[in-house]
Amino acid sequence: MLLVIVAMIFVVSFFSDDYIFTVLFFANLFAIGAASWDILAGYAGQLSFGNVVFYGIGGYSIGLLSAYFSGKQSSLLGGGSSAYSFLANPIISICVGIGISMGLAVLIGFAAIRLRGPYLAIVTFMLGIILQELIVIYGKYTGGEFGVSIPDAFANARFSFYVSLIAMAVSVLALILITGSRYGLYFKAIKDDEVQAQATGINPTKYKLMAFAVSAAFTSLAGSIYVLSYGIVNYDVFSYTTSLQWIEMSVIGGPGTIVGSVIGSYFIQILVELLRISQTYSLIIFAVVFIIVIRFFPQGLLGFIKRVLRWK
Amino acid sequence: MDVVQNIVSALVYGVLAGGRFSLIALGLSLIFGVANLIDYTYVAYIAVAGYLFYTVDPLAGPLLGMLIVVLSVIPMALFVERFLIRPLKSSGNQVMMVTFGVSLFTQYAISLIWGSLTLAVPTFLPGAVSILGNITSMQSFAILPASVAISLATIFFIDYTRRGKSIVAVSQDTEASWLVGVNVSSTMALTIVIGAMLAAAASVISAPTIGETPAMGWSPFIIAFVVVVFGGLGSIKSSVVASYIYGIILNFGIVFIGSQWSDVIGFVILIAILLVRPEGVLGRRASR
Amino acid sequence: MSTNDVLTISGLTKRFGGVTAVNDLSFVLTKGEMVGIVGPNGAGKTTIFNLITGFLRKDSGSIFFDGKEISNESPYKISLSGISRTFQQVRSFQGLTVLETASLPIVIRHKPVDRARLLELLGSVGLSGKENVMTSALTYVEAKSLEIVKSIVIDPKLLLLDEPFGGLNVHEIEIMTSVIRRQRDEGRTCIIIEHRLAELFALVRRLIVVDFGQKIADGDPQEVVKRENVIEAYIGKEAKKE
């Protein structure tokens, strides 16, 4: 499985086209988003429809910290004081974003994740919408609908791509290691039979929250990289369509397998570019494919490939 | 004087809002609250009903149009229940995902067919009315009696008819109901269909007072969800009561803090309920 | 309450709406005892297990395990404190292998996994060679046996078995009996809910009969079974129907 990732690195560095770099850049970021969703939903069985919230938090951490503390001019907000300029450092900003995301995950998760039912799904969904509104309400501080731009975005598409590739490789690797560890076992046990898991001595709330926090952390990282590359962030970054895309990628690629999400992400991103039809048509097609896959192919693409390989 | 007037305003608009909320929450209260089925297609029924009404209204007039729309939701609900929900019943997660997919599909399909610009449905009850000094359109006001009427009808159905009681029985103990002779699968189908019809009716009745967009189903769904959880799962009555309480709280918020905070207030209430009293104010316990 | 008492239940009561599932139940279990709980269907036996293991909240009464009141604890904490149980309908982790399931209780308690001992245990229930098979691929009796292994692998102070013989054929019952007998010989304190009286009598020295949530008898199996009220509880229901 790691070979898949490594192989991609090789194949892809031969391309020199900026356009392709952009496509793959998003494929990488969304792979992180999809894989993060998968560890929460595919492994621990907790459905979240609003993981994009953490993506946005990661993005705005970069945007706002840079706007306020970098000491340099950014579009709508003043450069702020450069006294705390270390805060604008990308690495620090990323960590802040991750920290906030994980904290939020635990807080919200504590309310919604203890109960069985659609609560987490709906609460996370609502949170995305709420955050969008809050950004507009406090537009004076957040840049509102227009967003915030950061002065030191990545130089070019190629650089962005490499950063995203490294981030993706690191994230996916980490996620695979977690799912292969005792925690992965706990997640699966909770998902398969929470009652029996409890009777075995597993604290379901603790590990569900753990899965959620991990999911939030990596999603936040992806969001941060997105903004670092594009240089601008606005409230669209909280759109629930992104959440759905990750769910689609994970489900179509293979839920319950981290690698499946990566495959799903690349598959869908590339397909979208190839087809190049209008936005809405492609959205509809993917919605239909999504429904069909859930209904008939619970194992996704990866499961299908595995089955085919088994026949040979 | 000013404060008193504000309070009165909040109460008046709160009750009106409560009427709207209880209407939209009825279907979800039945599907999720009573029958404990998770069905995101609810979002789709609202949107489809709204847009169908937009098309049908000029041709058949409001009353007939309403009837047509509510009836046309039935085949959609049956299809979803039979082919998407029933086969996946063993996994709540899968049902959630597939119905979520259906809602998004519907949203995109609607924007393809009708475009994504906001559409307006002409009002069929002209004029305005003034309640204790607060003005509201006749159209908006009419939602209240309609809501009360439909709520009472639904409560009557659940508590006093055989079909209604079998819905409750099936949700509480599927095996026992089956043993007693209740057709479990058709009861579940019935629940979804009635829920869809209630959603459609609510959407149509409120349609002239709101603009229609392809994503119009989500806000009502969220409101309905908050109300159902707030009131407590398991009882239509508690959802109705909760709607009015919620409507009033919300309007107090609007009057004294500002209307952009409505969704935030709803969210906070939801989180608070989940943390403190998941069984809602009046209902049965959500399973842990 | 002496230190030899593993489980002390007093006045335990649980109501569901209008139905009283467990009614003022009291008994004491001492170390090493293997007790059977029997009673007509719907008598509330599994509810007793659910109350002990924390899956249900009691309405009144008390449950003392190892000297501590446990009736308000979460199920996972009760499991960690040394009470293991099996379920009437076998529950298994579809996505885990046999070995993973069996070692899960050990792993969650942060103890080292003794692979040899695990394999030996699995072998004793007829699962040797199947360590890496997915639980979803097991037969019913294999899944049941795995559940037993999983429940004893961490040496629980109290073992609760809910209808261990349910759905087994003669040969499988023999295997299950020898597994449970081995537990008794090792001094495991155990409560067994069962309907199959013959198999149960071969294992337990004490029988508690429950009807409508109430304890109606408690003593030597052979003796209890001859009592009027017990016979009436079982047969009287049939007679009353006619």
Average pLDDT over residues B62-69: 87
For residue A273, name the pLDDT band (cuts at 50, 70, 90). Answer: confident
CATH number at residue A259: 1.10.3470
- Judging contacts by C-beta atoms under 8 Å, the chain A residues touching residue C95 are 188, 191-192, 256
Residue C130 structure tokens: 């199947």
pLDDT at res. C177: 92
Which chains share 3+ C-beta pairs under 8 angstroms with A?
B, C
Q: Facing residues of C217 across strands?
A: C209
Write out chain A residues lying below 8 Å of C77, CB-based. 203
| pLDDT confidence bin for B65, thresholds 50/70/90 | confident
Q: Could you tell me the pLDDT band of residue C43, with boundaries at 50, 70 and 90?
A: low
Nearest to C83 by CA among C190, C184, C185, C241: C190
Mean pLDDT across the stretch C126-140? 89
Torsion angle (degrees, nearest 10) of CA C19, C24, C28, C29? 0
Say whether C53 and A203 touch across the interface (CB within 8 A). Answer: no
pLDDT in tens, C184-201: 999 999 999 998 888 899
DSSP string, A145-197: TT-EE-S---S-HHHHHHHHHHHHHHHHHHHHHHHHSHHHHHHHHHHH-HHHH
| CA gap A15, A114 in Å, rounded | 47
Indicate if the pLDDT at residue C242 is higher than 50: no
Residues of chain A in Cβ contact (below 8 Å) with chain B:
41, 45, 47, 49, 108, 110-112, 114-119, 121-123, 125-127, 129-130, 133-134, 136-137, 244, 247, 251, 280-281, 283-284, 287-288, 290-291, 294-295, 298
Q: Taking CB atoms and an 8 Å cutoff, what residues of chain A touch B274?
A: 111-112, 115, 119, 123
CA nearest to C51, candidates C12, C23, C80, C77: C12
In B32-137, which residue ranges form alpha helices assigned H by DSSP?
41-79, 92-114
List the single residue in A111, A116, A280 with the smallest CB-CB distance to B271. Answer: A111
- The CATH architecture of the domain made up of C5-241 is 3-Layer(aba) Sandwich (3.40)
Closest CA to B260 of A129, C77, A182: A129
Nearest to B264 among A117, A133, A291 (CB): A133
Q: Which tens digits make up the pLDDT trace of A261-272?
A: 888 888 888 888
Residues C102, A206, C155, CA angle at the centre, nearest 5°?
A: 30
Rounded to whole angstroms, how far apart are CA atoms A201 and C1? 27
Residue of C51, C52, C79 to mutate, testing the A interface (most A Cβ within 10 Å of its Cβ): C79
**pLDDT of res. C129:** 87
Rounded to whole angstroms, the Cα distance separating A72 from A86 reads 13
SS3 label, residue A91: helix
Asked whether residue A4 carries a pLDDT value surpassing 50, the answer given is yes
Question: How many Å lie between the alpha carbon of A289 and the closest alpha carbon of chain C?
Answer: 25
Mean pLDDT of chain B: 85
Q: Give the pTM.
A: 0.89
What confidence score (pLDDT) does residue A11 get?
66
For residues A99 and A101, what is the distance between their CA atoms, to the nearest angstrom?
5
Q: What mean pLDDT do residues C206-231 have?
A: 88
Average pLDDT rounded to a whole number, residues A134-148: 80
Interface of B with A in 153-212 (CB under 8 A): none
Tokens encoding A112:
């919604």
Euclidean distance between CA atoms A240 and B227, whole angstroms: 22
Assigned token pair, A15: 């391309």
Residue C156 has pLDDT above 70, yes or no: yes
Q: Please name each of the domains of chain B with its CATH number.
A: 2-276 (1.10.3470)
Q: Which domain holds residue A14?
A: 2-311
Residues in A touching C92 (Cβ below 8 Å): 192-193, 196
Question: What is the tally of structural domains in chain A?
Answer: 1
User: Residue A187 — very low, low, confident or very high, per pLDDT cuts 50/70/90?
Assistant: very high
